[in-house]
Amino acid sequence: MKPVSEKPEFSLQTLAIRGVGLIGGSIAKAARKAGIAQEIVGIGRDEARLQKAVEHQVIDRFETDSKTAASQADLIVVCTPVDCIAKDIVQLHGSLRPEALITDAGSVKEQIVREVCEKLGAKHRYLGSHPLAGSEKTGFEHSDADLFQNAAVVLTPEEQSSKNDLNFLEAFWKALGGKVSIMSPAEHDRALAATSHLPHLIAAALASSVSEDQLPLAATGFGDTTRIASGDPHLWTSIFCQNPNGTLAAAKEFQQQLNAFLEAVEAKDTDKINALLLTAKKRRDLWLNERENS
């Protein structure tokens, strides 16, 4: 991962968003606020929902015919669930103008890139993005123009990706407030397994390991530690199935840490327990400091 230097101003004619939900809607609002697109077009199948998004001034207009929409766009951001992204990219790609680009907002990358390359060959016009922002809430009604302010955004170029496309996409996400870094798809999936996918699995396992009759004795500590277990099961099932190796590798690292704690507790080794807790506290405090000072 390498930090990216400041970029100059950025604008484009037509920004198209496939999947106008929380993330897609927030991208639309952030782009409007930043004044970087002449028009913002929603692409989807549900005409009634898309019409509502127009009425809410999230998008300027919509297209339910993806060929028409793709042929007009300068940049398409695919914001559908991770198990639909590759299919949606391939479908839109057929009608894309040669200079236009497709990106996405999915939480996993390797499998999407693999499927895209299988279907479109190496010379495709897709370059992956992952903005690390979201919410328990869904739907464009909860979208937020400031969702990407100071949010990490990872771009995942492949070997054959062009520097021009990478610069273009960097400038796009920076205009939306994001802090861009660049990693390979594989590197991204390993890191996100540790920082996002495994925490979700652990929160879920922890929530399930407390019995119903013990719940009245669970306070805010339990509530915080398990909050993300309330997320959408379908969405997270797709994420785990797209990143099983990364998740299992991160779980191995976690289990080693947990075993060290449990051995120290079994031995009532106060010095060891204290040292382990202190290391954990320092790591957590470092995360908070970096976040607050960013």
We find the least distance from the C-beta atom of residue 11 to a copy of itself, in angstroms, to be 28
| 2 is a contact residue toward a copy of itself (CB under 8 A) | no
Give, as ranges, the residues between 226 and 245 that touch a copy of itself (CB under 8 A): 226-231, 233-234, 236-238, 240-241, 244
Give, as ranges, the residues between 184 and 203 that touch a copy of itself (CB under 8 A): 191-192, 194-196, 198-203
Look-up of token digits 């499927």: 115
Q: By CB neighbour count within 10 A (0-12 exposed, 13-18 middle, 19+ buried), where does 2 fall?
A: exposed
Report the C-alpha gap between 114 and 124 in whole angstroms.
12
Report the C-alpha gap between 16 and 80 in whole angstroms.
13
Comparing C-alpha atoms, which of 22, 33, 40, 37 is closest to residue 81?
22
Q: Phi and psi dihedrals of 232, rounded to 5?
A: -70, 115
| 122 is a contact residue toward a copy of itself (CB under 8 A) | no
| 129 is a contact residue toward a copy of itself (CB under 8 A) | no
Count other Cβ atoms within 10 Å, centred on residue 12.
Answer: 19
| 26 is a contact residue toward a copy of itself (CB under 8 A) | no
Question: How many amino acids of this chain bind a copy of itself (CB under 8 A)?
Answer: 88
Report the C-alpha gap between 138 and 151 in whole angstroms.
18
Among residues 50, 145, 152, 171, which is the contact residue for a copy of itself, using CB under 8 A?
152
Give, as ranges, the residues between 156 and 185 that touch a copy of itself (CB under 8 A): 179, 181
| 150 is a contact residue toward a copy of itself (CB under 8 A) | no
We find the least distance from the C-beta atom of residue 8 to a copy of itself, in angstroms, to be 24
Distance, first Cα to last Cα, the chain: 17
| 82 is a contact residue toward a copy of itself (CB under 8 A) | no
Among residues 159, 221, 292, 293, which is the contact residue for a copy of itself, using CB under 8 A?
221
Write the interaction track for a copy of itself spanning residues 253-292; mark x where CB under 8 A is met and - where it is not: xxxxxx-xxx--xx-x-x--xx-xxxxxx-xxxxxx-xx-
C-alpha distances out from residue 294 to 7, 70, 194, Å:
18, 36, 21
We find the least distance from the C-beta atom of residue 194 to a copy of itself, in angstroms, to be 5
We find the least distance from the C-beta atom of residue 87 to a copy of itself, in angstroms, to be 16
We find the least distance from the C-beta atom of residue 40 to a copy of itself, in angstroms, to be 25
What does the radius of gyration of the chain's CA atoms come to, in whole angstroms?
21
| 13 is a contact residue toward a copy of itself (CB under 8 A) | no
| 147 is a contact residue toward a copy of itself (CB under 8 A) | no
Indicate the residue among 13 and 237 with the shorter CB distance to a copy of itself: 237
Report the C-alpha gap between 191 and 110 in whole angstroms.
12
We find the least distance from the C-beta atom of residue 150 to a copy of itself, in angstroms, to be 11
Long-range contacts of 265-269 (CB under 8 A, 24+ apart): none
Q: Phi and psi dihedrals of 225, rounded to 5?
A: -65, -25
